[in-house]
Amino acid sequence: MTPAQRDQDYNIYKDGNAVVIVSNTWINNDAYQGSNNIIGLDPVFSTYPELPSGSSELMLHQSSPCINRGNNDVVRSLINTDITGVNPRIYNSESGGIVDMGAFESTYSLVNIYTLQVTQEGQGVLYAFPTSVMHGVANTIIAYAADHWHFSGWQVVSGTGVSFGNPSAPVTTVTLTGGDAAIKAVFLPNP
């Protein structure tokens, strides 16, 4: 096994060019290369007082987008339980279960996570939009027009089940219920 192959067994490592690769992980932004990440969403942690002090701080709440989002291929064959020693490392592995991100394995059902692509037409700046969104959760999107331009509205580029709080407002929300989607902010030059 080469060092690169060995390193790829981990979620965070440096490649041969000293580039940090982050995979199968919750991260706050998309500044890293890698795959199968949940970007910008709250991981929704819970605490359970019946566990030893300090060991329950990173347990996933049942609404966490990190449930069933890991990579079974990187789970070591000798690891049969999560960090508690109680839950199986891969819940429902007999029926195709997927390991959770993190050291704790939940026994909750999957939360649907969709990819939201946000682009623009015209001149302006977009803020506060996640690239991974949970099914049915409203996400704030913000569009600021450049000088001599004005915001015209939000449009669905692709996808179904896309709804805006107010598609005419530059600060609004978008909710996905039908899968991955692409939206765009439209800016027009002032007359």
Tens of pLDDT, residues 129-159: 667 787 888 888 999 999 999 999 999 999 9
Specify the amino acid at residue 73.
Answer: D
* Same domain? 167 vs 137: yes
Total number of domains in the chain: 2
Q: How much is the pLDDT for 127?
A: 81
pLDDT value at 84 more than 70: yes
Per the structure, the complete domain to which residue 123 belongs is given by 113-189
Same domain, 155 and 127: yes
Say yes or no: 104 and 50 in one domain: yes
171 lies in the same domain as 101: no
Q: Are 139 and 164 in contact (CB under 8 A)?
A: no
Which of 91, 111, 131 finishes a domain? 111
Q: What was the pLDDT predicted at 169?
A: 97
Q: Are residues 13 and 58 in the same domain?
A: yes
- Report yes or no on whether pTM surpasses 0.85: no
Q: What is the mean pLDDT of residues 65-86?
A: 79
Average pLDDT over residues 168-188: 94
User: For residue 11, what pLDDT is reported?
Assistant: 60
Verify that 137 and 54 share a domain, yes or no. Answer: no
pLDDT of 1 strictly over 50 = no
More confident residue, 24 or 97: 97
Q: Give the pLDDT confidence score for residue 80 in this predicted structure.
A: 84
**102 and 9 both lie in a single domain:** yes
d(CA 151, CA 128): 16
Looking at the structure, tell me whether residues 88 and 137 fall in a common domain.
no
> pLDDT at residue 86 above 50?
yes
At residue 161, the pLDDT reads 93
Average pLDDT in the chain: 78
Residues 31 and 56 in one domain: yes
58 and 119 inside one domain: no
Answer with the one of 79, 111, 143 that is the final residue of a domain: 111
30-39, Cβ contacts within 8 angstroms, sequence gap of 24 or more: 30/131, 36/69, 36/70, 36/71, 37/132, 38/65, 38/66, 38/69, 38/101, 38/113, 38/132, 39/130, 39/131, 39/132
pLDDT band of 4, cuts 50, 70, 90 = very low
Question: What percent of the chain has a predicted confidence (pLDDT) above 90?
Answer: 31
* Average pLDDT of the residues in 111-125: 89
Is the pLDDT score of 170 beyond 50? yes
My answer on whether 2 and 96 are in the same domain is yes
Domain boundary among 111, 141, 165: 111
Query: Angle 65-159-144 (CA atoms, 0-180°, nearest 5)?
Result: 80
- Regarding whether 72 and 129 lie in a shared domain, the answer is no
